[in-house]
Structure 1
Amino acid sequence: MPSLQKAYPYFLGSKAVFANQDLKVTNKYTGEVATTVAMADADVIDKAIDAAEKSQAAMTAMRPYERQKVLDHCVKRFNERFEELAYALCIEAGKPIKDARGEVTRLIDTFRIAAEESVRIQGEVVNLEITERAKGYTGMYKHVPIGPCSFISPFNFPLNLAAHKVAPAIAAGCTFVLKPASRTPLGAIIMGEVLAETDLPEGAFSILPCSRDGADLFTTDDRFKLLSFTGSPDVGWDLKARAGKKPVILELGGNAACVIDEDADIDDAIERVVFGAYYQSGQSCISVQRILVHEAIYAEFKRKYTDKVSQLVHGDPLEESTFIGPMIAESEAERLENWINEAVESGATLLCGGKRKGAMLEATVLENAPHNAKINAEEAFGPVSIISSFNDYDEALARVNDSQFGLQAGVFTRDIYKAHKAWDVLDVGGVVIGDVPSWRVDNMPYGGVKESGLGREGIRYAIADMTEIRLMVLRNPNP
């Protein structure tokens, strides 16, 4: 069994600094302090931004194959440290060990994709001779790094969602400063240990756990040329309002819906929806929250689904059999317990679960929660799903859209025309046919609309945001 170090540094200007032991990282299942991590203050953040700015020229000068070599080294070392990374994730996030291993696999995938894309950042020849006055003129453009980037990553996927910022930045040639979530900083720090082994220019990266109150420079400092934030909508939109002139990428929340039409394979749909709703204890922004089932199959679906959910194994995330682990904090479990009780008081039916002990909340299924109940209208971000029936497909799609969020949606149908209609009509960033909205592979464009954010992640799409087009026009005086 791997173990944690007694203390971890932060990384300032590519170097490990054991400045203090101020951040206590708890085992989310036992509540005990598992290790400590150094925390940065505003002065350290300022030094990190200065280092990123000063090293940008050297980072820009790296050849694509040199950036690829850095990313390939990360892939190799993450594979070698696979179980260590999974164990740290299990402890700091309370993520069941099977889910933790799955996230490490995705971390490796993300860096591998970035290594491939790092040598595919292409330009284009532009035909300028669209009018007589442009005779003899040729245009061409290339993509150049946008400059130092500010990254703020969340607690729920502390490895892979940080990787979706860091890996494309390296591929694009951007220096960066990363603020990992204070509750789950270990994965990012281990990532820093690996990056420090590479030939990145000195100062090219910093990884700085810090308090939210002390992190204002991540948003406001004009030396940063891009801000990429993943987290809650309230925080994200506030950061955008204060970010100044820099572009902002926001990956925010959701209350994802899944439509199960009458022609769906019920058993297959249940298998996938259970995964989508309760994987990593529902703490995912694309977790299945609202489930709309055609009335012709509703009774069977309800019976089988509730039975399946009630049998999920709760407990110690280090146990191989555990499917539901603790939520990130007892306060979050208490919040969601209150939302469940509020929905029941407002007329919803509790089909299973609903009980809480500390940070552990039972996998819960509600039926017919009122539209305006928090459990329906807001992002639950925990092991809860709500089922209801529909009798008209268009009505179901309208109900999916009747949300402030628009990240992804799932539709189980065998009708190709209905699949295309969902793709046309649903106001979301991604429509997944024959599966849950919780499905994601790390090279696809991923992001939302409405309160779910701005921009798209997925390595190639993130690289586009982290680069700028630089045009060259060439005049031939004797065409």
Structure 2
Amino acid sequence: MAVTATERKLLIGGEWVETGDWLEVASPYDGALVARVPKAGADEARAAIDAAEAAMRAPLPAHKRAEILVRVAGALGKRADEAARQIAAEAGKPLKAARVEVARAMSTYTMAAVEARKLAGEMVPMDASQAGEGKLAFTMRLPVGVVGAISPFNFPLNLVAHKIAPALAAGCAVVLKPASQTPLSALFLAELEHDAGLPAGWLNVLVGPSSEIGDVIVEDPRVALVTFTGSGAVGWKLRERAPRKRVNLELGNATPVIVEPDADVDDAAGRCAANAFSFAGQSCISVQRIFVQEDVYDAFRSAFVPRVEALKVGDPSDEETDVGPLISREDRDRVLEWIEEARAGGATILTGGELVGDLLAPTIVERPPADSRLACDEAFGPVCTLQPYGALEEAIELANATRYGLQAGIFTTNVRAALSAARSLEFGGVTVNEAPTFRADQMPYGGVKESGNTREGPAWAVREMTEERLVVLQL
């Protein structure tokens, strides 16, 4: 992939700064240098919190916050191709998927602007009790304070948007630490925010080691809320370290799909093929475990395998590529190890399980051992499992046999089966006749069990980032 290396600066207190030390951003596809960014540490993190705290002393009216968010969405639309190519370069995401991410980020900003304009409390019916007679009461929604945001590599633009846009809509200044592998999209959004008229200090972006920046964000009492998307091991440890703060976690999943005998098998196979391998499976809700009722198992497998084999593996900057590289060779080798572990345990590799050049081919593993990592843990790679079941209750039990609970899906034309699954699947979201990789950015998105403790989507995130204050008036 031909990419011209650039240098970017960090945003602290409205100023673009360098630190004298640099981090290199390399292409996951071919290792080429994409950019250099200044490396921040604890001192820059404290300076960013200083700036955010100072900014909030002069609150931005809701209409101004909304106008800035709308301007960012518009600017992102005008520079959509540039943004998509940057995602492809730094994350190795195929360009067609990167374009979808840019469009979603525009939607995230637009929805957040709506929330900024309608942010309000509610009336309290005081005369519903004798004690409240003669009084008027209402609640106000006020910003919780400085928000510390930590975002992952896999959606370097839209997941950053899901941190920044709701926080600004709520009236909170932000200190953001994007993933060091993919900081360019975050700095690009910071540029758009700056150009849209966001006052100094309301957004600060730092790139560097979590051991320095993350520690300051977690430990500094001026940061009222930490919002984190990433691995469960890191996320839950953050929460333990900050018991007095709000710590909102959006973590992983081992995403199950159930295909009932009355389902449109061809449609289910097509949706699963597209959503198990997009961005090489590096999504928290990438389809990973597919359970197909035994009466239609052979038909599903016959429809599914050719679709997966037809996916184009290659250069993410190629408009035709479906599956690109994993974020690192270490991750690629880890997924290969999991596949070999399942094969050694008696599983069958229906397709894939090998490299195409340096890239891992889309892989289907049939009947993995129940205790294998592919059957239990989050693979976060271009691999899914396939196995039959008898009754729906068995499929639900198999789907729930994981410590995760983000999203799950079922394909069926039976309303009773769909609602039964919706009630019994232990996940934050259940899709019916759609792959559970689906996410519209205005919907509540989050998990249960080890998958998290919050809901994202601007309307829900704004509530998390505000506090309710009661006002009582004696009439």
Shorter-normalised TM range:
over 0.9
Distance 1:16 1:123 in 2: 37
Query: Within 1, Cα distance between the matches of 2:364 and 2:129?
Result: 65
Q: 1:80 aligned to 2:78?
A: yes
Q: Is the 8 A contact 1:4 1:88 kept in 2?
A: no
- Distance in structure 2 (CA, Å) of the matches to 1:267 and 1:443: 29
CA deviation after TM superposition for structure 1 residue 359, in Å = 5.2
Mapped contact 1:222–1:244 kept (Cα < 8 A):
no
Residues 242-275 of structure 1 deviation map (CA, whole Å, 9 limit, x = unaligned): 1241111000000000000001111111110011
2:289 match: 290
The residue identity in structure 2 corresponding to 1:62 is: L
8 Å CA contact 1:70–1:199 kept in 2: the answer is: yes
The amino acid across from 1:199 in the alignment is G
Q: Which residue of the partner structure matches residue 423 of structure 1?
A: 422
Quote the offset at 1:201 in angstroms.
Answer: 2.7
Which residue does the alignment assign to 1:242? Answer: 241
1:13 CA displacement = 1.2
1:55 counterpart = 2:55 = yes
**Could you tell me how far 1:133 is from its partner in structure 2?**
2.8
* d(CA) in 1 for partners of 2:166, 2:253: 24
Q: Structure 2 counterpart of 1:194, which letter? A: L
**Corresponding residue number in structure 1 for 2:383:** 384
The residue number in structure 1 matching 2:270 is: 271
C-alpha contact 2:218 2:238 (8 A) present in aligned 1: yes
- The alignment-based identity, stated in percent, is 41
SS in 2 for 1:472: strand
Given that 2:70 and 2:110 are in contact with CA atoms closer than 8 Å, whether structure 1 keeps it comes out as: yes
Given the alignment of the two structures, is residue 8 of structure 1 paired with residue 8 of structure 2, yes or no?
Answer: yes
Q: Take 2:358 and 2:39, find their aligned partners in 1: how far apart are those partners?
A: 25
RMSD of the TM alignment (CA)? 1.4
Q: Please point out which of 129, 146, 155 is paired with 1:131.
A: 129
Deviations 1:198-231 (A, max 9, x none): 3323211100011122121121211100000000
SS across alignment from 1:217: helix
Aligned amino acid, residue 405 of structure 2? G
Change (3 A) 1:359 1:375: farther
Query: Secondary structure of 1:57's match?
Result: coil
Q: Is the 8 A contact 1:327 1:359 kept in 2?
A: no
Is the contact made by 1:355 and 1:362 (CA closer than 8 Å) also made in structure 2?
yes
Aligned AA (1:445)? P
Runs of 4 or more consecutive aligned structure 1 residues displaced over 6 Å after TM superposition: none
Report the counterpart of residue 212 of structure 2 in structure 1.
Answer: 214
| Preserved contact between residue 332 and residue 359 of structure 1 (Cα < 8 Å) | no
Matches within 5 A, 1:39-118: 39-58=39-58, 61-118=59-116
Distance, in Å, in 1 between the alignment partners of 2:174 and 2:357 is: 37
**Residues 367 and 2 from structure 1, CA distance in 2 versus in 1: closer, same or farther, beyond 3 angstroms?**
closer
Which has the higher mean CA deviation after the structures are superposed, 209-218 or 324-333?
A: 209-218
Is the 2:3–2:89 Cα contact (8 Å) retained in structure 1? no
| Structure 2 residue matching 1:421: 3-state secondary structure | helix
Whole-angstrom CA distance in 1 between matches of 2:175 and 2:60: 19
Write out per-residue CA displacement over residues 341-392 of structure 1, whole angstroms, 9 at most, x where no aligned residue.
0000011111110013675111000000011101111100010000000110
> Could you tell which deviates more after superposition, 433-442 or 355-364?
355-364
Map of 2:393 onto structure 1: 394
Unaligned runs of 5+ in 1: none
Letter in 1 for 2:378: E
Q: Deviations over 1:5-26 (max 9, x none)?
A: 6200011112211334511000
Q: CA–CA distance in 1 between the matches of 2:381 and 2:358?
A: 11
Find the aligned partners of 1:4 and 1:447 in 2 and give their Cα distance. Answer: 37
AA at the equivalent of 1:284: S
Deviations 1:290-330 (A, max 9, x none): 00001111011112211211221111011111111000000
Q: Which amino acid aligns with 2:470?
A: L
Name 2:193's counterpart in structure 1: 195
Give the structure 2 partner of residue 30 of structure 1. 30
Per-residue CA distance 1:428-467 (angstroms, 9 max, x = gap): 0000000111000000000000110111000000000000
Letter in 2 for 1:46: R
The residue correspondences of 1:122-201 to structure 2 (distance < 5 A) are 122-201=120-199
The number of residue pairs the alignment matches comes to: 474
Segments of 5+ residues of structure 2 without an aligned counterpart are: none
- Describe the SS at the equivalent of 2:296: helix
SS of 2:56's partner is helix
Residue matched to 2:354: 355
In structure 2, do the counterparts of structure 1 residues 359 and 182 end up closer, same or farther at CA, with 3 Å as the change threshold?
A: farther
SS in 1 for 2:473: strand
Alignment TM-score, normalising by the size of structure 1 = 0.97
Look up the SS of the partner of 1:53 in the other structure.
Answer: helix
Which position in structure 1 is the counterpart of 2:465?
466
Residue 302 of structure 2 aligns with an amino acid whose one-letter code is R
Q: Post-superposition shift, 1:28?
A: 1.3
Residue 436 (structure 2) pairs with residue 437 (structure 1): yes
8 Å CA contact retained: 1:334, 1:356: no
Query: Structure 1 pair 355/3, CA: closer, same or farther in 2 (3 Å)?
Result: closer
| DSSP 3-state at the match of 1:460 | helix
